[in-house]
Amino acid sequence: MLETANNDRQTGGPAGGRRARRHAETRAEILEAAWEIARSEGLAGLTMRDLAKRVGMRAPSLYSYFASKHEIYDAMFAQGYRQLMERWEALDLPDDPHDLALVAMRLFVEFAVEDPARHQLLFQRTVPGFEPSTESWAVAQEMYQRTLVAPMAAIGITDPHLLDLATALGTGLADQQISNDPGGDRWLRLIDESAEMFLTHARSRKRRR
Amino acid sequence: MLETANNDRQTGGPAGGRRARRHAETRAEILEAAWEIARSEGLAGLTMRDLAKRVGMRAPSLYSYFASKHEIYDAMFAQGYRQLMERWEALDLPDDPHDLALVAMRLFVEFAVEDPARHQLLFQRTVPGFEPSTESWAVAQEMYQRTLVAPMAAIGITDPHLLDLATALGTGLADQQISNDPGGDRWLRLIDESAEMFLTHARSRKRRR
DNA sequence: GTCTATATTTGGATAGAC
DNA sequence: GTCTATCCAAATATAGAC
């Protein structure tokens, strides 16, 4: 081995060490395989055996990368929120409030629908004994700030009630699409109308104050 | 035994036979116990052993009443929809469209929130291999007709898009309340405002035609 | 780090006596 | 209809050799 002079031991070494880098790469591979299984078998259908098989390992070897199955769910949870944030940052944001609201709602609903298992993990949290770690929760909170609170403030909406109403509308469209018309577009087609309804409502409340 | 002269054999006898009646009663007891377990342990936490213990049986005895665990889920599914329908029929329905929409939305959301496991079974269907039978689906369809389509038609709303928008709004409020503020009322407090927003929107669309 | 072997638990379902 | 005794399968996780 070439790294005998390299004194990073196990996973505790410097972030750029060859061993640590390889370790992180394998972790990423495992997570990618986990998403694939979750997508095809359902979130609860993810098992250590299947996961190991898909990355060309035996089940016990996974424990060199994750301490438990819950830790894998936790990493997926944080990764999912980061994905949504990156998707948001990559957008070309329009100035017009109406368009901005529409783009935001469309992003959220389409993100949910394109991977129902991910939506279930991130927003419904119906996995038997799983609770996200505080670190992963922090990622979720940051997403909420950056992709909802901040842009809404930019178009003059700061009332917490209205933010909650917006999230209800978004998850409602997503959940209905996923549960009652998987693969179709029955609720996807209502995104524009919903955004418009919401904005009109928000404006009328503001006027009334 | 007293029913030697009674010629209803097994479960195939007349609906009023003593044996059949007893059988139906036990089935109902089992279902009630199943709901209790689902509420406390989660829908996926329901096991035949626990269920049997709660009704004072051993697990194999349950198979005299239900052919499989899926059949139990299926009976719960139909029962849940019947409950919602009965709840609706028991209401004192107001004539005013605004009030009617509000009452309907409130019923739906509160029904969901008061038993999240039931909501999950009926409206999210995230139980691993469970698909409702065609009979149970028919019950669900009837609920949809009687508690949504008909009353909406009564207040002049027949556009299918608007019905879908209404269900999205209802499930959205319910899901957010259950997932992000269990035991609280953060989204419950938005029911009135949501109903109002929806009605205003529906009226404006009608006017535009 | 990866493997084989295995502990341990759990859960659905069936066989067959009573 | 209910029981005891089991079967069978699946799943997480650990021990210990290499």
Tell me, yes or no, whether B204 and B110 share the same domain: yes
Q: Check CB contact of A37 with chain B, cutoff 8 Å.
A: no
pLDDT for position A16: 77
Statement: the CB of A60 is under 7 Å from strand D: yes
- At A112, list the tokens: 């949910």
Statement: the CB of B68 is under 7 Å from strand C: yes
- At A189, list the tokens: 């087609």
Which CATH number goes with the domain that contains B58?
A: 1.10.10.60
Tell me, yes or no, whether B60 and B116 share the same domain: no
Tell me, yes or no, whether B153 and B186 share the same domain: yes
Which value, in Å, is the radius of gyration of the alpha carbons in chain A? 21
Task: Name the residue range of residue A29's domain.
Answer: 12-66
Task: Say whether pTM exceeds 0.85.
Answer: yes
Q: State whether A165 and B201 contact (CB < 8 Å).
A: no
Tell me, yes or no, whether B29 and B82 share the same domain: no
Q: Is the pLDDT reported for residue A161 higher than 90? A: yes
Query: Could you tell me if residue B21 is inside a domain?
Result: yes
Mean of pLDDT values over B59-69: 98
Q: What is the pLDDT of residues B76-129, one digit of tens each?
A: 999 999 999 999 999 999 999 989 999 999 999 999 999 999 999 999 989 988
pLDDT for position B208: 78
Tell me, yes or no, whether A100 and A17 share the same domain: no
Q: What is the pLDDT of residues A71-121, one digit of tens each?
A: 999 999 999 999 999 999 999 999 999 899 999 999 999 999 999 999 999
pLDDT for position A5: 39
Statement: the CB of B11 is under 7 Å from strand C: no
Task: Chain A: give the shortest CA distance to residue B14, in Å.
Answer: 38
Q: Is the pLDDT reported for residue B34 higher than 80? A: yes
The dihedral through the CA atoms of A55, A61, A66, A72 has a sign that is positive
- At A136, list the tokens: 């992963």
Tell me, yes or no, whether B56 and B138 share the same domain: no
Query: Exposed (0-12), middle (13-18) or buried (19+): which is B4, by Cβ within 10 Å?
Result: exposed
Which CATH number goes with the domain that contains B147?
A: 1.10.357
Tell me, yes or no, whether A79 and A55 share the same domain: no
Split at pLDDT 50, 70, 90, the class of A12 is: very low
Query: Could you tell me if residue A2 is inside a domain?
Result: no
Interface test with A, best of B141, B163, B164, B186 (most A CBs within 10 A): B164
C1' of C4 to CA of A145 (Å): 49
Q: Is the pLDDT reported for residue B3 higher than 50? A: no
Residue with tokens 């060199």: A64
Nucleotides of C under 7 A from a protein CB: 1-5, 10-16
Helix orientation angle between B134-144 and B69-89, rounded to the nearest 10 degrees = 20
Statement: the CB of A63 is under 7 Å from strand D: yes
Where is pLDDT greater, at A168 or A15? A168
Q: Is A133 helix (H, G, I), strand (E, B) or coil?
A: coil
CA–CA distance from B152 to each of A109, B48, B147 (Å)? Answer: 26, 41, 8
Tell me, yes or no, whether A103 and A203 share the same domain: yes
Tell me, yes or no, whether A22 and A106 share the same domain: no
CA–CA distance from B67 to each of A98, A102, B17, B62, B175 (Å)? Answer: 55, 49, 22, 8, 32
Number of domains comprising chain B: 2
Query: Could you tell me if residue B4 is inside a domain?
Result: no
Query: Could you tell me if residue B6 is inside a domain?
Result: no
Q: Check CB contact of A44 with chain B, cutoff 8 Å.
A: yes
Mean of pLDDT values over B21-41: 98
Where is pLDDT greater, at A15 or B71? B71
